């Protein structure tokens, strides 16, 4: 928040969150930029949370905050869901790491198998990043090919092979990622999102081992992908003997108990999952066709065994939390409620933006709410509308940094913890939360206008 004008927000922020200010002084002596995840970075300092229940968090100064981070997407059921808490409490005294096979991993895996159409076999990992890394290697062993086709803006975790082109700017210079070797980068084929023709041409030209697609589109649907596109992509990859990986780390169990693939009525060859999968504890998984996952089996017919160790794979606390969470997810209610609350919020926010005349817009699918400040494209037309006619070069852009920090601080001052320019609901969010959030946005915008950060 370097603009001199943003003084009101900053001074009030320092007043309201004094404990966080002093904790951050310790943090900057420990962690680069004082944070342990890039997106938690906030100027002048992030807010330190002490406790969280349902849709609310309480910070170190006792401030109540309505939460739209939902555990980076992991908490579809909200914070501290009683079934998850009980499952973890029961397990923690029994064994946190038996260093052995255990029954909970079976119950967890069987639940995944029941819910997710493509999950004939699976292996648990510790994160979504590990799951996508594993998926690529499986496809390379099976096909003997090396290239991977991904879509511009799609995020699949931070490992070398898929981090390039995971965020804007969408040009070749923006895609070269510091620390990723040219060789690794050269194995990637990057095509525009939602462009079946470009994908078809790239498959013909490069013969990739696989195509990987992020659930319902770039970074939680910033550039939304619709069922028709996924159906087309499934057909295209099948026709061209190319494996299709659907990365459902966000969408898995969130948009539908069976994930985005169930919503689209497709069966990808393999699926990566994490977040909701482990009920709010660390955990991921690669699931898919039995003949593909077979490369992980000893003595498999290919004669090439893919190594897969991992100290905490299927650890019993994650298994207990995941099994408990997926039992609730299976009813379909959590995804329905979370999506309903997000739609109400998108509507309410757009009314506030129109009333304040700030030219902002809210959009998004399922339980995601995306905001574009200073929107200048075609007018909004219903809840399934996509801004800028879906043009990813206009939709997926980096907004003003100073405004972004000021906006988050202004919202925190009004009791809302918003995740950058996006937020997500859980099944614990209530109608009252939605109304309170809409009011909080109105007051936050007034503050930003008063501080000269935005014009009415």
Ligand X SMILES: Cc1ncc(COP(=O)(O)O)c(C=O)c1O
Judged by the rule CB under 6 A, the positions of this chain that interact with ligand X are: 72, 127-129, 132, 155-157, 214-215, 247, 249-250, 274, 284
Question: What is the largest distance, in Å, between two alpha-carbon atoms of the chain?
Answer: 69
CB of 214 to ligand X, least distance (A): 5
Distances (CA, A) of 5 to 47, 410, 445: 22, 13, 14
CB of 325 to ligand X, least distance (A): 15
Of 20 and 129, which has the nearer Cβ to ligand X?
A: 129
Do 119 and 287 meet the contact criterion of CB atoms below 8 Å apart? yes
Closest residue to ligand X: CB criterion:
128
CB of 156 to ligand X, least distance (A): 5
CB of 215 to ligand X, least distance (A): 6
Of 21 and 84, which has the nearer Cβ to ligand X?
A: 84
Of 214 and 365, which has the nearer Cβ to ligand X?
A: 214
Q: What distance, in Å, lies between the first and last C-alpha atoms of the chain?
A: 20
Of 115 and 218, which has the nearer Cβ to ligand X?
A: 218
CB of 118 to ligand X, least distance (A): 16
The two tokens of residue 288 are: 């898919």
CB of 282 to ligand X, least distance (A): 8
CB of 8 to ligand X, least distance (A): 33
Of 215 and 259, which has the nearer Cβ to ligand X?
A: 215
CA distance 142 to 256: 30
Of 132 and 367, which has the nearer Cβ to ligand X?
A: 132
User: Looking at beta carbons, which pairs linking 234-239 to residues 24 or more positions away fall under 8 Å?
Assistant: 234/266, 234/267, 234/268, 236/196, 236/199, 236/200, 236/203, 237/203, 237/211, 237/269
* DSSP letter, residue 285: E
DSSP string, 75-113: -TT-BT-HHHHHHHHHHHTT-S--SS--HHHHHHHHHHH
CB of 72 to ligand X, least distance (A): 6
CB of 162 to ligand X, least distance (A): 8
Q: Which residue has the tokens 């009525």?
A: 265
Of 46 and 284, which has the nearer Cβ to ligand X?
A: 284
CA distance 406 to 447: 10
Q: 3-class SS at 306?
A: coil
How do beta strands 361-363 and 368-372 pair?
antiparallel
The two tokens of residue 257 are: 């108990």
Of 247 and 396, which has the nearer Cβ to ligand X?
A: 247
**Phi, psi at 48, each rounded to 5°:** -95, 125
CA distance 140 to 73: 30
CB of 424 to ligand X, least distance (A): 11
The two tokens of residue 119 are: 């999950």
Of 72 and 356, which has the nearer Cβ to ligand X?
A: 72
CA distance 226 to 235: 15
445, exposed or middle or buried, with CB in 10 Å at 0-12, 13-18, 19+? buried
Of 60 and 72, which has the nearer Cβ to ligand X?
A: 72
Of 129 and 367, which has the nearer Cβ to ligand X?
A: 129
Do 179 and 161 meet the contact criterion of CB atoms below 8 Å apart? no
CB of 253 to ligand X, least distance (A): 13
**Phi, psi at 425, each rounded to 5°:** -95, 165
């Amino acid at each position: 928040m370097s603009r001199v004008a943003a003084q009101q927000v900053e001074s009030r922020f320092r007043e309201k969150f004094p404990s966080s200010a002093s904790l951050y002084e310790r943090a900057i002596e420990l962690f680069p930029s004082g944070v342990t995840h890039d997106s938690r970075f906030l100027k002048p300092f992030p807010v330190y949370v002490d406790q969280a229940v349902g849709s609310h968090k309480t910070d170190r100064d006792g401030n109540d905050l309505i939460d739209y981070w939902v555990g980076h997407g992991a908490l579809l059921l909200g914070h501290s869901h009683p079934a998850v808490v009980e499952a973890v409490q029961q397990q923690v005294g029994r064994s946190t790491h038996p260093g052995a096979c255990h029954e909970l991993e079976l119950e967890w895996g069987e639940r995944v198998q029941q819910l997710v159409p493509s999950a004939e076999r699976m292996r648990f990992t510790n994160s979504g990043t590990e799951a996508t890394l594993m998926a690529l290697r499986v496809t390379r062993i099976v096909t003997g090919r090396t290239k991977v086709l991904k879509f511009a803006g799609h995020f699949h975790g931070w490992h070398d092979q898929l981090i390039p082109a995971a965020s804007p700017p969408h040009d070749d210079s923006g895609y070269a990622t510091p620390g990723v070797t040219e060789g690794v980068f050269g194995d990637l084929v990057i095509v525009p999102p939602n462009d079946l023709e470009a994908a078809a041409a790239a498959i013909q030209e490069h013969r990739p081992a696989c195509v990987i697609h992020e659930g319902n589109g770039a970074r939680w649907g910033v550039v939304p992908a619709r069922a028709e596109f996924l159906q087309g992509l499934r057909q295209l990859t099948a026709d061209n003997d190319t494996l299709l990986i659907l990365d459902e780390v966000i969408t898995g169990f969130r948009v539908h108990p069976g994930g985005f693939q169930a919503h689209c009525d497709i069966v990808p060859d393999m699926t990566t999952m994490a977040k909701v999968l482990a009920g709010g504890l660390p955990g991921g998984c690669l699931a898919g066709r039995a003949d593909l996952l077979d490369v992980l089996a000893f003595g498999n017919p290919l004669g090439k065994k893919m190594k897969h160790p991992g100290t905490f794979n299927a650890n019993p606390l994650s298994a207990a939390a995941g099994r408990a969470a997926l039992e609730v997810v299976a009813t379909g209610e959590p995804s329905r409620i979370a999506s309903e609350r997000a739609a109400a919020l998108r509507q309410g926010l757009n009314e506030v933006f129109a009333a304040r005349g700030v030219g902002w817009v809210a959009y998004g699918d399922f339980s995601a709410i995306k905001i574009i400040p200073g929107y200048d494209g075609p007018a909004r037309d219903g809840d399934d509308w996509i801004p800028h006619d879906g043009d990813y070069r206009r939709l997926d852009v980096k907004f003003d940094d100073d405004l972004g920090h000021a906006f988050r601080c202004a919202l925190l001052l009004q009791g809302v913890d918003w995740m950058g320019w996006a937020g997500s609901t859980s099944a614990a969010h209530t109608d009252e939360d939605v109304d309170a959030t809409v009011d909080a946005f109105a007051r936050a915008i007034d503050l930003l206008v008063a501080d000269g950060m935005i014009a009415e």
